[in-house]
Amino acid sequence: MKRILPLVLFVCCIATTHAQDYNFSQFYELPLLRNPALAGIFDGNFRAKAVYRNQWQSVTTPYRTTGLSTEMKFHAGGGNWHNMALQVTYDVAGDSKLSRVQVLPVYTFHLQIADENYLSLGMMAGPVSSQFDASKLTWNDQFVNGSFSANNPTSQVIRNTNRNYLELATGLAFTRPLGEMGNLYLGASMFHITRPRVSFDPNNDDRLDRKYGLNGGLTVPTGARDAFTFYTDAFFQGGHRMNMIGAMYTVALADEYYDDQNKTSIHFGGAYRWNDAFIPVVKLDFQNYSVGLSYDVNTSKLKTASQNRGGFEFTLTYRNNKIGAGRNGDVPCPKFGTNF
């Protein structure tokens, strides 16, 4: 059993990596990975985001994930606008350095259908590349007389350590104001539309199941300086599902909550990933910047081995009203106080 464990872990790691998409705890900070139609739904004309996640360090070689994204708005006549975006992600896991890189351009069109009500359609398409280092693996027949040596020959043949495919996704979203400074959004998305082949073995036709998503968010101001925001996501892929809910309380530390010129505010809250983790979150807004910190408190069956320690996550956001939009200045769009 001890001899075959590395092989079992390797196979499970590959299967898990291809079967599941990136999963961030501050999911509301990564709209392009939730739904391409959510790109561009924020105050300002330009936004850039960075995220870093370190998971399962208490159990095994940690899974490390990094993401970068940019979004820029352009006028499309009337109250409508275009949004061009780019999402880049990279992760690496395990002793074999199993890694994946995504470079995903996104286009979203926001159509004003009544007053400040908008219907948005987004498309995302780009290359995905996975690879691993086979020299870091150990195999059953490299154990001789109970002793392992990397110099021992193995009959295991690995013909391919790279896999490239095209990701294609789309989404719809509806946004509208709710009374005095409140707002709502609802969305639906589909990823892996073409069901790309993801196996490293060229003779294997394993394909990635389509993933369907539902998204929602609601902001309810409770005064001139504070508000509550609620988020939710539900994803369905093959026979698997993932549900996340979150809530944040925001209070302005200087000026009014909706004053973007000199905004300083702090957010307290958390999220819950169903049957997996509770995630406390704190976030600080200062002028054009936002910084978020979270930590997964593991609640799944792995909690005994992990001692409830899941993953640390850091996000950084920059927004600017002077970049993009074209010659006519700011894009006319609904007011999103919490920057969905």
On whether the CB atoms of residues 21 and 191 are closer than 8 A, the answer is yes
On whether the CB atoms of residues 206 and 18 are closer than 8 A, the answer is yes
Distance CA 124, CA 213 (A): 14
- Among 145, 149, 81, smallest CA distance to 118 is for 81
Distance CA 64, CA 62 (A): 6
- Tokens for 272? 């819950």
- Count the neighbouring beta carbons within 10 Å of the beta carbon of residue 233: 23
Q: What is the pLDDT of residue 338?
A: 44
pLDDT tens string 21-69: 777 889 999 999 999 999 999 888 899 999 999 865 555 566 889 999 9
- Tokens for 217? 């968010």
- Among 324, 261, 265, smallest CA distance to 74 is for 324
- Among 224, 274, 219, 278, smallest CA distance to 249 is for 219
Residue the block writes with tokens 């890189």: 101
Q: What is the pLDDT of residue 337?
A: 42
Dump strand ranges (E) for 76-97.
81-93
Q: What is the pLDDT of residue 1?
A: 38
Segments of the chain with pLDDT less than 50: 1-19, 303, 305-307, 334-340
Distance CA 246, CA 280 (A): 10
Q: What is the pLDDT of residue 11?
A: 40
- Among 268, 273, 191, 177, smallest CA distance to 232 is for 273
Residue 133 has phi, psi (to 5 degrees) of -100, 100
Q: Looking at beta carbons, which pairs linking 239-245 to residues 24 or more positions away fall under 8 Å?
A: 240/19, 240/20, 242/23, 242/273, 242/274, 243/273, 243/274, 244/27, 244/271, 244/272, 244/273, 244/274, 245/271, 245/272
CA distances for 285 relative to 63, 197, 223, 260, 266, angstroms = 28, 42, 18, 10, 6
Distance CA 70, CA 302 (A): 35
Angle (nearest 5°) at CA 282 between 294 and 16: 20
Distance CA 218, CA 186 (A): 9
On whether the CB atoms of residues 130 and 118 are closer than 8 A, the answer is no
pLDDT tens string 266-313: 999 999 998 888 999 999 998 889 999 999 888 865 545 444 556 889
The share of the chain scoring above pLDDT 90, in percent, equals: 47
